[in-house]
Amino acid sequence: MNYTFQSFNFRGKKRLKPFYDVTASIAGEEYSHIEVVSYAINLLLTGTTKRGFDPEPGPLNESVNARISRHFLSSGQASLPMDSMGDWWTGQNVFSSGNLKLDLLHNFFLECGARANKMRVYEMVTDPTAREMVGFLLVRGGLHVVAYARALEVLTGVAVTKLVPVPDLSNKAFKETRKYEENGVHRKLYTFSKEDYQTAGLIFNGPHPEDGQPLEVIFGSPEGYPMPDLEEEPQLNSPGEDGIDPEMFADIAKKLGIKI
């Protein structure tokens, strides 16, 4: 939301368009990160209670020991917009000062802090789903650190990269990151649009501060992956509708010219 509102509120866009293009591109990617974290949480929660329609045996009794029981009480055993302590997300956390230097500096340190937290989360979990998700985000978050550092260097002339790594930018200790870095994912900024944000490369360029390989701007989106098909959880009445007639859907789809 920081980057989204900073892009919505950006003034002097014509003169400073490269900075807008970088911020907007990263904002677009962060939405995909919300999605990937949500699915990782959903996969981790799948199977943690006993499936069935009978409430008598207490199919949710193990959830009373859960660190955050809202996943079961307020959701269908799935992700919610809250932090690791169960505090809800709030717009009070959005930083959009209108001052380009201040916003970029805030974003730089925000990404550094997020990176430190991801490292700690990695050390807290051993589940392969969680570590795969964190490994990917370590690679992409590290790229965002570099992107905002480059933006500050171009804007101010200060060698911000001397502050990098803050913390250590290297992902070598995390095996899940290696395949991504071997494919150059740590060096590619995606714009998520083939037509827009064409000047992002005026800022995101030069050598990567760790391996010296060239930074790249990719106009468009990376290749996606099929979303997991989450199983029903009848003990939570999720999704909670048993009277659906598949023949009715097929008939309506046929009339609309939709193949299902």
Residue-wise pLDDT for 206-231, tens only, equals 999 999 999 999 999 999 889 999 99
**Are the CB atoms for 171 and 179 separated by under 8 Å?**
no
Q: If you count them, how many residues does the chain have?
A: 260
| pLDDT at residue 241 is higher than 90 | no
Arithmetic mean of pLDDT over the chain: 94
Residue-wise pLDDT for 75-92, tens only, equals 999 999 999 899 999 999
Q: What pLDDT, on the 0 to 100 scale, is given for residue 168?
A: 81
Quickly state the pLDDT bin for 15 (edges 50, 70, 90): very high
Distance CA 200, CA 110 (A): 20
Helix (H, G, I), strand (E, B) or coil at 120: helix
Q: Which of 74-87 are b and which e, b meaning 16 or more Cβ less than 10 Å from the residue's Cβ?
A: eebbbbeeeeeeee
Quickly state the pLDDT bin for 113 (edges 50, 70, 90): very high
| Mean pLDDT on 49-71 | 94
How far does Cα 218 stand from its chain's mean position?
18
Q: What pLDDT, on the 0 to 100 scale, is given for residue 106?
A: 97
Alpha-carbon distances of 215 from 51, 123, 203, 212, rounded to whole Å:
48, 29, 10, 9
| pLDDT at residue 57 is higher than 90 | yes
Q: What pLDDT, on the 0 to 100 scale, is given for residue 166?
A: 78
Q: What pLDDT, on the 0 to 100 scale, is given for residue 247?
A: 85
Query: Terminal CA-to-CA distance of the chain, rounded, Å?
Result: 36
Q: pTM, whole model, 2 decimals?
A: 0.91
Higher pLDDT, 29 or 259: 29
Q: What pLDDT, on the 0 to 100 scale, is given for residue 162?
A: 83
Q: What pLDDT, on the 0 to 100 scale, is given for residue 179?
A: 97
Q: What pLDDT, on the 0 to 100 scale, is given for residue 248?
A: 85
Higher pLDDT, 246 or 108: 108
Distance CA 208, CA 211 (A): 6
Residue-wise pLDDT for 163-192, tens only, equals 877 778 899 999 999 999 999 999 999 999
Residue showing tokens 């944000």: 197
Quickly state the pLDDT bin for 260 (edges 50, 70, 90): confident
| pLDDT at residue 118 is higher than 80 | yes
